[in-house]
Amino acid sequence: MNINDAIYELAHLSSHYKNEHAFLDALLNKAVCIINGAEMGSIIKVNEISHKLHFESVVGLDLAKLKQLNFTLEQSFEYRLTKGKCDRVVVVNDMKNINSGSTLSKEAQQILLTAAKHPIRSTLSSPIRIDGKLYGMLNLDSSSVGAFSDYDRNLVSILTHEASNAIALYQKSQQITKLANFDSLTGLSNRKNFEDALHHWQAKPHLGSFLIIIDMDNLKAINDTYGHQVGDTAIKRVSSAILSYWQNKGIISRFGGDEFVALCHGPKEQLENDLDEIRIELHQDQLSLGFSFGIAPFDSDWSTAFKQADHAMYEQKRAKKKAIHALETFAAKT
């Protein structure tokens, strides 16, 4: 692969990668292939607030070992050699001189030395900047002294510049995807995403599949009494409680307002026990949150299951209102 092909792929196919980690893996592999002297390499991400560094992707290095490192941007040779600017590609053609001035602990230096099969003699490091902020560093390494030329430096500079644009595009495409498929308040799937996911639902016949509709009982009263900001907090509290029980059991969605819909594997008795526990947990909340629910078997007929669960939920709501009315009537007479 040449530099032009690599740039094209990074620029035009970034949104096709499963996640940002997969994109960074691809970027690093392309860089190792393109730069003649590179035998191995890594991408290190920078925490914008703490300046802590962590290894995100590697080629030819022991990632498990490198993830044990606890070090900061200020301890990197990219930072030291650019006087803190991290604004250009740095080539180190003899690592002995750099290592001798390192502020890393002996333990950390030992991890770096043993993470590669052969000792690293030369390194080329390029900053990756997105929207003017330091995102990370692309490092290419060699077991030979003097492995990298000015030409290699220029190639990597071009590659990381285009990679920065591609990462920014990828992040924006992910944000658009998130906005299109997830509820902004709770982070749960929205209705469209939920209904799309139904087509890929994997049934487990021995457990059964069940559609559950959950509708908050007192959101309007909370909004009227405390305001919509507190109402939003209540919605997030309910969504968190549902997630804590069913995040790994199925698909959970906020359909809008105070209504949540979940599709989970059974057994039904376990789901009903979960709902009882969620109800107790929310009732103990400072806002004394409550909800009504309906549950119906799901066998790929979405419309029928939804109608059944919706009907059951409204029957439960009506029963609660009748009980409250009866209590109020009794209290008025006594």
For 132-158, what is each residue's pLDDT tens digit? 999 999 999 999 999 999 999 999 999
Question: So what's the pLDDT on residue 112?
Answer: 83
Nearest to 211 by CA among 319, 315, 303, 320: 303
* Cβ–Cβ < 8 Å for 25, 167: no
pLDDT above 80 (res 43) = yes
Q: Which helix (H) or strand (E) holds 215?
A: strand 209-216
Q: Within the chain, what is the greatest distance between any pair of CA atoms?
A: 96
* Residue 196, both tokens: 């799309």
Judging by beta carbons within 10 Å of its beta carbon (0-12, 13-18, 19+), is residue 126 exposed, middle or buried?
buried
For residue 132, give both structure tokens.
């003017």
All domains of the chain in start order, with CATH: 3-180 (3.30.450.40), 191-333 (3.30.70.270)
CA–CA dist 47, 55 (Å, integer): 11
Q: For the residues 182-192, what does the mean pLDDT come to?
A: 95
> Which DSSP state fits 44?
E
Residue scoring higher pLDDT (95 or 37) = 37
Residues 6+ away with beta carbon under 8 Å from 1: 30, 33, 34
**Residue 166 and residue 231 in contact, taking contact as beta carbons nearer than 8 Å:** no
CA distance 276 to 282: 10
Q: Give the tens place of pLDDT for each residue, 73-130.
A: 999 989 999 999 999 999 998 887 776 667 888 888 888 878 998 989 999 999 999 9
For residue 173, the model assigns a pLDDT of 82
Mean pLDDT for all residues in the chain: 90
Q: What is the pLDDT of residue 14?
A: 64
Tokens of 200: 């890929």
Phi, psi for residue 71 in degrees, rounded to 5: -145, 170
- Residue 102 in 3-state DSSP? coil
Please state the rounded mean pLDDT for residues 224-228.
94
Q: Within its chain, how far is the Cα of 41 from the centroid? A: 25
pLDDT at 1 over 70: no
Q: Indicate the DSSP class of residue 290.
A: -
* Residue pLDDT, tens place only, 9-33: 766 666 677 788 988 998 899 899 9
Bond prior to 267 in cis (omega within 30° of 0): yes
Distance CA 304, CA 294 (A): 13
Mean per-residue pLDDT for 56-72? 95
* DSSP type of residue 182: B
At 122 the pLDDT is: 92
- d(C-alpha 64, C-alpha 71), whole Å: 15
**C-alpha dihedral sign at 52, 57, 59, 60:** positive
Percent of the chain clearing pLDDT 90 (strictly above) = 67
